[in-house]
Amino acid sequence: MFQFDTEQQVCEVGGVKFGGQPGDYPTVVCNSIFQKGDKVFPGKRKDGFEKKMAENLLKTQEKLSEETGVPGMADIVANTGKEFKTFIDFVVDNSDMPFCIDAWTVKPKLEAAAYCAEKGLLDRMFYNSITVWEQDLDAEISEMVKIGVKNVLLVAFDQEDQMPSGRITGTQKLLDAIEKNDAKFENLFVDTSVMNGPATALCGLANKMIKEKWGFATGSAPSNGSYMWKEAREKWGFKGWAAADAAVESLSAFMYHDIIFSGPMVGAQRIIPAIAMADAFHATAVFSETGRLPKVDTHPLFKLFPDFVENLKTIRK
């Protein structure tokens, strides 16, 4: 369960490592900022954002990462290349986190990638994302190669097969497109497309299959499922919904997720401690089965439970 025969790839984006064998590295939490409805926009989006509030979100996430050992990244969401330039500059000026560029359409993503290349930020940025439903995937990949994009998220899905096997089909389609365009990216990792909360289990199983087949780092966006579950807020209020959200994120961290897209950054105070506990739980299970401890001393198991780690070393035979 916790050791793959296939060699596992380790991605490094902006100094943050993830992937490898289960338990080697902590789960990366990638939280969104400047998304639609973000409270940093007090009025209309075009009128600008509350810089102090946005700075506090970034600083809070970094502080939680430092305290728990769970690495944070910023998912920068924008609608235009101009917006991306403003938001990228702000994130880079106010945090040391790696980040991704996230947009619904290709044009602003490519403009943002080109801007990152101009600013020397390609090591710190990943492209979110190339998808099986993009109509002109060849043109997008070709332009990414010209820009020099290094780190790419693949979003894998197959509408005709929504079981884990469909994510394998979707991944293969994207890999075929990359090969067709003779593209060589430094890091590829796979998002296996959440449909709802419980269906995130299918993502976890698909991630296991992808690791077995290719050794890629894998993840998904469990928040897509929890944020769509409006009935939970109606029945149990924010606290009840927040508990369910933290639960699905934590279960995902245990179940073959190297990176989690966990929704708006305002939720970091809820999500990062939950992921820290899940990672410590996971690393303990890995140690019980394999005798391996995490590869980095900043892992939540070491950072939060050092006495227990010393005890573990004495009790496994």
Q: How many residues does the chain have?
A: 317
pLDDT digits (tens, 9 = 90+) for 55-91: 999 999 999 999 999 999 999 999 999 999 999 999 9
209 belongs to a structural domain: yes
5 belongs to a structural domain: no
pLDDT digits (tens, 9 = 90+) for 156-211: 988 888 899 999 999 999 999 999 999 999 999 999 998 899 999 999 999 999 99
Report the chain's mean pLDDT, rounded to a whole number.
96
pLDDT digits (tens, 9 = 90+) for 26-35: 999 999 999 9
Residue 263 sits in a domain whose CATH number is 3.20.20.20
Identify whether the C-beta of residue 74 lies closer than 8 Å to the C-beta of residue 58. yes
Task: Record the tokens describing residue 101, joined without a space.
Answer: 């560029």
Instruction: Return the pLDDT at 317.
Output: 64
List, in sequence order, every residue forming a beta bridge with 127; answer none if it has no partner.
Answer: 101, 152
66 belongs to a structural domain: yes
Helix axes 230-254, 268-290, angle to 10 degrees: 30
For the chain, list the strands marked E by DSSP. 10-13, 16-19, 28-33, 72-77, 99-102, 125-131, 151-155, 187-191, 217-220, 259-264
List, in sequence order, every residue forming a beta bridge with 18; answer none if it has no partner.
Answer: 11
Residues whose CB falls within 8 Å of the CB of residue 21, separated by 6 or more in sequence, listed in order: 2, 3, 4, 8, 292
**What value does the mean pLDDT take over residues 86-104?**
97
Identify whether the C-beta of residue 222 lies closer than 8 Å to the C-beta of residue 246. no
Instruction: Return the pLDDT at 159.
Output: 82
- Which domain range does residue 230 map to? 10-312
pTM listed for this prediction: 0.96
317 belongs to a structural domain: no
Task: Give the pLDDT band of residue 315 (cuts 50, 70, 90).
Answer: confident
1 belongs to a structural domain: no
Cβ count near 123 (within 10 Å): 15
194 belongs to a structural domain: yes
State how far the alpha carbon of 58 is from the alpha carbons of 24, 62, 155, 165, 314, in Å: 26, 6, 26, 37, 40
Three-class DSSP category at 286:
helix
283 belongs to a structural domain: yes
Q: Looking at the 3D structure of the chain, how many domains does it have? A: 1
